[in-house]
Every structure is written in structure tokens, then in C-alpha cells.
Chains A and B, each alone.
Chain A
């Protein structure tokens, strides 16, 4: 049963520390998405990649967040330096590239980040 995996599942850190979240998309999927979910803002799209190239990261605070795909099996989201307002659940999703339609996205279990 193919699934998106994310590590770590939980992370508690102190303000100012660097945080790296990792995602392994489903094998063969060539689009990868990062979302953030908070009670106040709900689910927000931060960035997405197609064939490892960033297509849109307009939802991401550029000064402290960065997203990369070093290879087809790994996507990373890094926050440096972290701030308490970054506390949220971060979801990664992957999907096969659609043609006329944009196919479903498969979500991982999320990384719950707490910045003290």
C-alpha cells in the first residue's frame, strides 16, 4: 500500500533553532506539495514541485522557509530560524501529473511542529 511518509511526526524546538521536515512521496508521483495547517488559518498551500522543480512557493515566507527536492524520493521543508508562530502541522502530499484533469493528491500523516 503506497503512502506518503513524513519525518519526524512530532518536533518540539526552541525559537531560533533550525527545523527540517522530510517527505518521501509515493514512488512514481512527480508532483509534491507542502501545506501548513493551523486552527486560525486552516490548510494553506506553501509550495509545490513538479519533476523536482519548484513551480510555486508564493505561499511560503521567503525569509525563513525553504523547500527543496534533492532527488525524486525526498522533499524537504526547512525553517531557519524558527519562531513560535510557525507552530503548526505541516503536511506533504504527492500526486501523479494529470493531463486534462489534475489528479488527486495523496497526503502524508503530517509533522506536528511546536516552537517554544
Chain B
């Protein structure tokens, strides 16, 4: 699976949009981009995934650049409960490798 690079930490004000970047410059054509998050002491939680088109669901939006070398997860209106570690993963099979992720802290 392609390696991903994420900033180790980010802050966001409550109610504002949180934009979490991910670089995956070695992604191959059939690898999907997945985002999970892990709230303290809980198991990881699926957020969203995509291949090359932008995706949106009730939790977030995923913006993938045209060359697919990077993506951004957008939480449109961050709340305190969105404080978590966010993992960006690229995968083509069930072998999902988590990196260190970005620790997002939403502040009041």
C-alpha cells in the first residue's frame, strides 16, 4: 500500500471547518483513499473513502486532487466531540495499514 504523510497535530475552533491534509504521492491507480478516526480509548471509526471523485457523507467531505497525490478531509462544522486522531490510509485490498495520523484538537 502507498505510504501517506499527515501533519502530526492540528487545532480547530469549535464551529469552524477542519481541513485535514494527507499526501500520498506514490498512490497507484487502483488504490482507494480511506479516512478513519480514533477517539481516545475507542476503536477506530470509519469516516469516508474515495477513489478519484470528491465524496461527501453525513460526517465529512473528501477532496482528492486531480493527480490523486493528495487529499483533504473536511469536517464542515467541527465540534468538541470531533477531537480525535485522524488516519488517512490508501489501500487496494483488506490489508489496511495505519500510520501515525493527525491529532485534531477542537477548541471552544
Answer whether A102 and B94 are a contact pair too, CB < 8 Å, given A42-B99, A42-B100.
yes
Q: Please provide the 3 A-B residue pairs with the shortest distance between their CB atoms, ordered closest to farther.
A: A107-B43, A104-B46, A43-B98
Binary per-residue interface labels of chain B (45-76) against chain A in the complex, 1 for a CB within 8 Å, 0 otherwise: 11001010000000000000000000000000
* A-side contacts of B97, CB under 8 Å: 45
Tell me whether A82 is interfacial, beta carbon within 8 Å: no
* Overall SS of chain B's interface: loop
> How long is the Cα–Cα vector from A55 to B93 in the complex, in angstroms?
11
Contact partner, B94, options A33, A106, A107, A108, Cβ 8 Å: A33
* B-side contacts of A108, CB under 8 Å: 43
> How long is the Cα–Cα vector from A56 to B91 in the complex, in angstroms?
15
Interface residues on A, range: 20 to 34
Interface residues on B, range: 20 to 34
A31 close to B44 (CB less than 8 A)? no
Tell me whether A25 is interfacial, beta carbon within 8 Å: no
B94 close to A50 (CB less than 8 A)? yes
Answer whether A93 and B93 are a contact pair too, CB < 8 Å, given A42-B98, A101-B32.
no
Given contacts A91-B44, A105-B46, A109-B42, 8 further A-B contacts (CB under 8 A): A42-B99, A45-B95, A45-B97, A56-B94, A91-B43, A104-B46, A105-B44, A107-B42
